[in-house]
Amino acid sequence: MPQSTVVSGGARAMMEMLGRLEAAPAGYQVAVIALSQLQPEFRRPLLVRRATDLFEPLVKAVGGPRVYLPDSLDIVVIGKNLSRAGVRLAAEGIRTLFGADPLVRGRTGGGIDRFARWFDLGRADHHGAFKALADDIDRRSAEQAQATGAWDGHEQPLTPKRLALLISDMETLDVAPLLQRQPVIRVTKAPSAEIDFEEIFISLSALRKRVAEHIDLQSDRWLFQDFSRSLDRHILRTLKPLATCRGAGTISVNLNLETLTSDTFEGFVQAMPLEQRLIVEVQGIDVFADIGAFLRARDRLRNRGHRLLIDGLTPRTMETVDLGQLDADFYKLQWNPGFIHVVDGDEAAAARGLIGAIGAAKLVLSRVESEQAMTWGLLCGIRRFQGFFVDTLLGGAILGACHDPGHCTLSRCIATRRGVSGLLREQCRDRAALDHTVRIAGRAKRIAS
């Protein structure tokens, strides 16, 4: 975290403060500045520090508020009788600082500010909404800390020279131990569900520790794309011989559009078993940057019996592009507690609009961390889900089918299944249950080994 005399702490300190206010929240207000939603090139340590420093006049006043900067990089200001005018002045300074990002001037269809939000904790609806948002910030901060390590203002930016060295180092790196998998389930008839496909991805936290521990990989969007294209090649080469992935019915891999025209990708597809199907996941921001390339890739994949998914969508996406016209096979919508708790912005209405435009049958609700998230999706007609809550349900089904369930805890079972290879898999006493439990129900069902 960047050093600043203004910041009182990160996510943990923020949650502790919220806990102290639980019994008597009246008179306290909160402002949240959504720096986490900015494009990656704007989330640089120096700019973030300048943004927090704009709250210095408020903090230094008698009885001034506390400013928190979680690893998610959302600025959270909590204070008693918090000056809304003072917050507005700081927020305008931040808008100027990040003025090139469209988020800072964007509003919802109802004219609500998406960048700066205000909560009066004395109001029950505001209190509940901020608690949900704080939980989400805390979760995302933990994920960010795990993925990249605690954010450090002394990290070095990614430069062309550093990129060349990273790519060179990766040529000798075995990425197989860094590969992970996470299922996407399809609810057939509640409460039954089955695995629809498996996403294979690389653990960026482990990769960063191996080759780029003190480098901010996302400090330059274009250089990071070059890095990710190189990473694509390593993932595809590593996946090709792995029995764990060859045995799966359908797998998905998150790739750059440019990778889909490479010899490496062609070799990977040709090596796939005839009965196996592939779903290529591409980031929405890459699709919108070159829609022509996306449409060509979509048609090529379909002609070979494979499919394409657009990843990383939020309700805001609908404001910039007509997703229905892209005719992807699937779209992945990120869960947000704001879909339920609506204050200072109708995220729920925007999410319903996105679902209506695309069709629930084509949607995957990702980052499902709780039963509440899955319940919301089911009520909206969504049937495909991905996230830690799903992993937990499947882990329970695996333990129910395991011949030696006493050897594992649920958390160990989840971690073992997530690994594509490695020591945990080798130590598993029932790999048939681990790899062939495909249904979540009263009793787990295995496919034939």
* CATH number assigned to the domain comprising residue 94: 3.30.70
Output the pLDDT for position 423: 82
Residue 1: inside a domain, yes or no? no
User: Which segment of 10-14, 107-111, 228-232 scores lowest on mean pLDDT?
Assistant: 107-111
Give the range with max mean pLDDT: 95-99, 108-112, 291-295.
Answer: 291-295
Q: What integer best gives the mean pLDDT of the chain? A: 83
Q: Last residue of some domain: 148, 183, 202?
A: 148
Tell me what percent of the residues of the chain surpass a pLDDT of 90: 31
Output the pLDDT for position 1: 39
- Pair 124, 191 in one domain: no
Output the pLDDT for position 64: 84
CB crowding 267-284: b at 16 or more within 10 Å, else e: ebbeebeeebbbbbbbbb
Q: Last residue of some domain: 148, 170, 187?
A: 148
How far apart CA 71 and CA 80 sit, in angstroms, is: 24
Kind of pairing, strands 66-68 and 75-80? antiparallel
Q: Look-up: residue for tokens 């008597």?
A: 24
8 A C-beta contact, residue 340 and residue 348: yes
Model confidence at 256, pLDDT cuts 50, 70, 90, reads very high
Tokens of 187: 């609810």
Give pLDDT tens digits for 364-377. 999 998 888 999 99
158 in helix, strand or coil? coil
Average pLDDT over residues 389-393: 93
CB crowding 291-306: b at 16 or more within 10 Å, else e: eebbbebbeebeeeeb
Residue 58: closest CA among 17, 20, 24, 30: 30
Output the pLDDT for position 174: 85
Give pLDDT tens digits for 284-302. 878 888 889 999 999 999 9
As for how many domains the chain has, the answer is 2
- Pair 226, 93 in one domain: no
- Pair 114, 190 in one domain: no
Q: Number of helices (H) and strands (E) in the chain: give both, helices first.
A: 19, 16
Q: Look-up: residue for tokens 């090709």?
A: 240
- Pair 94, 140 in one domain: yes
Residue 112, domain extent: 7-148
369-370-375 Cα angle (round to 5): 125
Asked whether the predicted pLDDT for residue 5 surpasses 60, the reply is no
